[in-house]
Structures are given as C-alpha cells and as structure tokens.
Amino acid sequence: MMHFNSRGRVIMQQYVLPFTAIDRSKIAVVGGKGANLGELFNVPGIFVPEGFCITTEAYKRFIASNEAFNEMLNSLERMTIDNIDAIETIGSKIRSHLEKLAIPQEIKAEVSEIWEHTGKHFFYAIRSSATAEDLPGASFAGQQDTYLNISGLDEILIHIRKCWASLFTDRAIIYRIQNGFNHRDVYLAVVVQRMIFPEVAGIMFTADPVSGNRKVVSIDASYGLGEALVSGIVSADLYRVRDGTVINKKIAEKKIAIYGLEDGGTIKRAVAKEKVNRQSIEDQVAVVLAELGQKIEQHFGCPQDIEWCIADDTVFILQSRPITTLYPVPRFFDERLHLLISLGHAQMMTNPIKPLGISILKTFMPLGKNGNQRTESNLMAEAGGRLYIDITKVLDYKLGRKLFPGLISNADEFIGNALREFSSWKTFKIQSGPGKKIELPLIAKIAPFIMKVFKNIVFKESKGITERVDDLIDKQIRVNRDIIYQKVGIDRVQQIQQLLPTMLPFVLKNVGPYIGTGLLTYRLINKLAGLWLNDTEQELRGISKAPVGNVTSEMGLALGDVADIIRGYPSVIEYLKTAADAEFMTGLDGVEGGNKVKTSLNSFLAQYGMRATGEIDITVPRWREDPTQLIGSILSNVESNSAGMHRTQFLQGEVEAKKAVESLIRRLQYTRFGFIKAKIMKHLLVAYRQVIGVREHPKFFIVQNFDIIKKAILEEAEYLVAAKILEKADDVFWLSLDELIEVINSKKADLSIIKKRQEEFKQYIKLSPPRAMTSEGEIITGLQQQQDIPEGALVGSPVSVGLVEGRARVITNLANARLNKGEILVAPFTDPGWTPLFPLAGGLVTEAGGLMTHGAVVAREYGIPAVVGVDGATVKIKDGEMIRIDGRKGYVKILSE
C-alpha cells in the first residue's frame, strides 16, 4: 500500500504514482506521456489537471506468468510487415485475452487509495503511456486508446485494462515491427487525469510542423473537447504566431463539437449557428498560448507538440511531447537569418555521413577557415548526419544574388530556385541591405578563371585536353600519396588536414575552366539552336554522346569487358548470384573460369577500386573493399547485353554525335544569315566536344585522394586496436580528425561516445534531408509550378531531352541492382558507381540532381531522356509501373501499375 504526507506526496509506492512524485526521470515506470505531465505539473505557472499514473510495474504484474499471453507473444515475434492478416488475428486474440484477465488485488487496492485521495467525485480521462513513447526518431503517439469522462472505481479499472490491451492494436504492433521495437521491451503505463470540460481546446506546435520554422508557433483550436480535433473528427481554426504577433490565421467552419456528458461518456453536438464561422479564440489568446508553449519548449529543451484546453479563463495543459518529425537544425551564435543548402543534393549523395566523413569534407572546404587551413570550415554545418553549406555570405553580394542561383541550378535546379526565393524575403533584405559590391581583390582572384573560359570558347585549344589533365592529376596523386606516407601518427593526421583544403583549388585551377567552358557552350548551343531552328531535339540528344576521355564512361566500358568474360562461364554466373562479401574473391578459385574472371576483376579494381556509391563519404566501403557491390551491375549487363555490345554502342554514339553536329550545322546554313550562324554553331560544338571529356575528372581526382587518406587513417586505427584503445578499426569512422589526434595523443578513447553516435546514425538514416533550409529551420523546397505539365504528373528538372515510356525499375541500393534493357531507372541519385547501368536504361528519374550532375551528364552521353530532382520519386513510383518521362518539359507521368 502507499501513504501520503501532508503535502500529498507519495512516501512509498509500487504500482501507482501521483503527478506530484513524477518527473522526466520516471519515464521507465510511467512512460513518456506520464513523465512529461508529472514534470509540467510541478512547474510554477503551468496548470496541469491533477492525476496519477498506473506504473509499468503494474502492467508487468498484470501479465506475469501468463502462459497463454507468452505463447501469443511468441507467435507475434515471428511476424513481419508482410503478414498483415496474421498480425490482425493475433492482435485481436491478445486484446481479448487481456481485457478478460483479472487485475491483481494489490493493484486494485493502490488504485482505490489514490483515487479516493485525488477525488472520488471527479470524472477522469484515462490514457495510455508507453515506455518507448516519444523517443528521438520515434513517436508512439496515438497508437494506444484514450477514454474520456470515466467515473467510479470499477469503470476506471475496466478502462485501465483496456489501455493495457490497446498496446496490441494493429497499428501499434505494425509500428513496432517497422521501427525495430521488440514487443516484450515496450511496457505500458496508464495516465488517470481529472477531466476538464473546456469551452475551447486544441493542439499547439511550438515549431511550425509544415515549414519547420522554429520561430513560428502553430495553434489549432476548436470548440469542446480537444480529443475530437486530435482524431480529426472536427474542423479547427489555425493561428500562426511569431514574436508575439498573429502573422496568419485561417478560420474554419466548425459545425460539430464533442462535449462530456453529466453521467459520463461524450457526445457530438452541433455548434450554435452564430459560432460556426467565428474565431474560437481571440488573437490575444493565441499569443498567450504561444508564450506558454515557448515556456514549455524552453523547459524541455526541444520543440513540443502540446494538447491544451481553456476552462474558466484558465489554460490547462493536457499533454506535451517532442515533435519528432522536424529535421534537425545546426546551431548558430548570431541573430541573423542564414540560408543552408544541401551538399548531398548537389553531390548526388543524400544518405547520412559518419562523423569522420563529415570531418573530412569540412576540412576539405578551403573557405571559412579563419586563417588555419587545418581546421574544419565554418561555412559547412552538420544537420541530421548531412552537410549543409552556409551560402548567406555569397547572397550578401549583389552579383552573388544575380549569378549564383543560376550557377547552382546546374547541380540542382530547385536549390537555385530556393536561393532566388530566399533573396527576395523581406527579412533577408533588411539584414543584408541592397547588396555588397565585389571588391578588387576578389575580382583579381576570379578574373583568371573567367579569362580561361573565354579563351577556351573563342580560340579553342588543340586536341589532347584530356591527356594533359590526366597527366596533371596522376602527378599530383603521386605527390599527395608520398606526402601522407612519409608521416605516421599525429603528424600523418595533421598532414591529411593540411592536404585536404588544397584539393579543390587544384581542381578549380587545372580543370575548372574546361568544365566552365563545357557548361557555357552547352547552354549557348541549346539557346541558339532553339532560337534559330525548330525541332532540334534529335540533334541535341546526339551532341553529348560518347565523349572522348570521360573517366566514368571508360570505367563503365571496362566493367562491360569484365561482364563479357563472365558471360562465357555459366558456373561463375551462378556463383555470383549467391556470393558473400567475406569470401567473394577466394570463392572464385573453385569455380570453372573463376581464375580468369578473378584476374579480370582484379585488373578492374586496380584502376577503379577506389570508387563506390556515395563516394564523397570516406567511410563507405570502396569496391576494392567490397566487390560484391558490382554484382548487380555485372549480372544486369550479362543478362541484357550480348558480348561486345557496350563497345559497339559507344562507337555508335561517336557516329551519332558526329551526325548530330553535322546536321545542326547543315540545317543552319539554309537559314537567313546561315553562313554566320553555322560558323558560330560549329565553333561552339567543336569547343564543347573538346572539353566535355573532363567533366568527371575532378571527382575522380578527389576520390583517389580520399582513398589514399582512408587507407592511411585505417592504418592508424589498426595501431589503436593493437594498443587496445579502439575495439575495431572502423570505430575511427565515428571520430572527427581532431578527435582522432586527441585519441592518438592521450591513448584513450571514449567508446560510449562512439556507441551514442552509432545510435544517432540509425535515426539519421530515417530522415529525409531538405534541399535548402534557414537557420530557423524553415524548409524552402524551390518547387515552382511549371507550365504545360499534365495533371498528376511528378515535376522535376529536365536535363536530357526526349520522351520515353517504359517500365519503372526502382533501385535504391546499387548492390542489389538488376535492370533489364529498356527499363527506366528510378533512383534516389546516381553517382559514378551507377554508370554501368546506363547502357541498359531507357530513361532516368532521380530524386536529386541538376543539369551538370552525374546522372544528367551520363544520360546525355547515352542519349536517354532524364528528369532529375523529382521529390519522393522512389516512393511515389512503384517498381514495375509503366511511366512516361519527358526530358524537355521535366515531368514523370505514371501510366499504369
């Protein structure tokens, strides 16, 4: 039994706790809902209706030694998300069993005692509170049942049991399976709270749940009990409050409300006609609610989803929980508004990156260093395991606002749109002013680059550009390798820090002008062709085909050669279908033709083994570390192509490119002033074809350097493992470069931090990163309504012209990729690792990308239509559906299942 002191605080308890004895530390025994209510109950100035919690110990006692229940749980644990019918059957049996199970006498006695103390004459709301509820990245909200206006001990006990049973509703079971929660590890507490009969009630989000803005409080309000609003039965007024002012409101037609009955239970009633279209709360009340919400947010330290009601001119808080759907925002230490753009979308890699990968990339950025090149750039910020670039300072310049959105659109059109939108905001204009002028020192730095681009276009270079660039890159790679391997320990890591920020300047100086030339000439060719001629789609599809010297195209051809060798050995093909990581290469030794295939694969990996999907993250496995990543591409090639077809297609591409160039020039000659037009176009086409081969060289240079760095860091990690400082070598992936230096220096590592970061990373995987967001958390999609798009079509950026219909093949993991000839590849992104699939694809759709990103460039090289930047494409388009993609207008239309 329990006893209370003179202040109503519990002295001894087992199965029941009053709110006075509950705070956030009690989450294990009262669940998330109960812990938050108890915490707020004891905060001055916040009114929470009195109540108590039936603890998880009571639930454990209730189900203890119950053989039938255990057997049903065993059956449930074998279920997967595909067994919906079986889940429904077992769930129904468990609920029925628990609702008939007797509550132990000792639990009844404690509930009776606290009920009498709290008030026998009151009506109560009874809600479930799960122990795994409202954890970071997971919310159990709304999965168990709520019962309102319950009176009398017997009814309270009945509904406590119903709450326990609701732990096994179909939606709760499915959620646990989807999120990897063990059914036996989630316990249920029950909140019993005095009923309030309000005039108005609602929900308040202390950060705008739609835009993500942390400075805007969003309030829904309607008449009667808030439960009707939560369940979606009634309409609600919407108020958005910022800095003590209602900045937006939408008044709903509120025809129905739910009220409590005098004898218990609830009823729906029609709202009086004069109140239907009237504000349910005045603006000033919304402001007061927002201030209260911000106080609660400040107490808990994160944005909150709050249920509230108003009765007798008092605001009561009925529930508060973290908002788990907001994308994380980096911290800034000034008051100005910043714009952050996603590096992952621009680099076609939207997966989360481990801490070492983040540190490498932030050190790689040569700007924002404050004089010390070894430090991480302050222009890059981590959020949700992804990297964002703070582009605000670029937009402070008038020329930056004018030119940079167009420049970034080549990587992602919607990010470019977001920059334009942000630049037009009143808040930004007030903070930034009319825009700075570029100063002479900056002009002096940019001018040589511009002059080289101009020179490349006007004068054209002689042949051999790719060869010269290859030589430069090869020499620098050898120099960098020697520099890194001359050092060990702390000196080596510091040398890596010193080397990283030199890579981008090297690329910009030696390769950048050629890429700039390719980009500018391509845009000029498209613009002039459209201006001077009609129907140039066929020629424009051809001019980019089969570029000479493109390292990524050459890699695809080399893998096709490997597939040709494998094609002759059926035993190897069967082996590849079941090959495992650990013994992949050694397993080939016992297969007919295996040695020959192994030699071919090793030769390929010697040249391209540093590549991978998502290769900007140094921590992802390279092909040399996990060759099984290539199996899907190889088998697709073997099954869908004949021997040598990939080489034949490439040669055919060269012929088609030559014909496209000749066709454009010939057609122009028959137009007005055709001689001049043809001469200009020929000049641009020759310049374009000379430089497009080096488009992939910068990435190849950087990836080769990253591979050298990875090998060196793993060597250092092996020393730390041998010294028993780290448990395994890849633990180093969870440290920054500075932290690695400190571990080597101190000979100590905090393994708990590593484990914590590993858990956080699991949550980051579930997040969908925005392309652009502000420092206030507001997401800017950059999605603008485009003209002449069919109704219901998915909109993206047109990057490779053409119209094609075909069956969608949705591939989210390259390791399991299988693509048949002519199918349309639908992927989250493509980088050089995906290149071997392009000869088979009839078209391309990606969720990330722009005009000059990998997928777009390679699609043009193969002459296949492509639309990129299609939000949610891999979810909205189902595998096997017939779709149409229009690479000129930039849309995807789903035709049939």
SS3 readout for 73-90: HHHHHCCCCCCHHHHHHH
Indicate if 854 belongs to the active site. yes
Q: Give me the residues of the chain with pLDDT under 50, please.
A: 1-7, 9-12, 133-143
Which residues make Cβ contacts (< 8 Å) with residue 492, sequence separation at least 6?
A: 484, 712, 716
The whole-number pLDDT of residue 438 equals 77
Residue type present at position 422: F
Q: For residue 694, which of 491, 483, 430, 465 has the smallest C-alpha distance?
A: 465
If you count them, how many residues does the chain have? 897
pLDDT digits (tens, 9 = 90+) for 172-195: 888 888 777 788 878 889 999 999
The whole-number pLDDT of residue 789 equals 85
The whole-number pLDDT of residue 139 equals 45
Q: Where in the chain is the domain with CATH 3.30.1490.20?
A: 1-195
Tell me the three-class secondary structure of 206-244, residue by residue.
CCCCCCCCCCCEEEEEEEECCHHHHCCCCCCEEEEEECC
- 794-896 CATH fold: Glucose Oxidase; domain 1 (3.50.30)
Q: Based on C-alpha coordinates, what's the Rg of the chain?
A: 32
Other Cβ atoms within 10 Å of 846 Cβ, number: 28
Q: For residue 374, which of 208, 466, 490, 489 has the smallest C-alpha distance?
A: 490
The whole-number pLDDT of residue 753 equals 95
| Burial (CB count <10 Å: 0-12, 13-18, 19+), residue 446 | exposed
Q: Which of 183, 338, 646, 854 is catalytic?
A: 854
pLDDT digits (tens, 9 = 90+) for 540-587: 888 988 888 899 889 999 999 999 999 999 999 999 888 877 678 888
The whole-number pLDDT of residue 751 equals 93
Question: How many angstroms separate the CA atoms of 194 and 150, rounded?
Answer: 9
The whole-number pLDDT of residue 837 equals 86
CATH 3.40.190.10 fits domain 196-326 = no
**Between the CA of residue 559 and those of 579, 603, 620, 637, 694, what are the distances in Å?**
18, 10, 21, 9, 20
CATH 3.30.70.660 fits domain 1-195 = no
The whole-number pLDDT of residue 12 equals 46
Q: Are 533 and 667 in contact (CB under 8 A)?
A: yes
Q: For residue 754, which of 719, 722, 721 has the smallest C-alpha distance?
A: 721
What SS3 class is residue 322? strand
Question: How many angstroms separate the CA atoms of 223 and 236, rounded?
Answer: 8
Q: Are 267 and 261 in contact (CB under 8 A)?
A: yes
Distance of CA 366 to the CA centre of its chain: 26
**Between the CA of residue 53 and those of 21, 50, 123, what are the distances in Å?**
10, 11, 15
Q: Where in the chain is the domain with CATH 3.30.470.20?
A: 196-326
The whole-number pLDDT of residue 461 equals 63
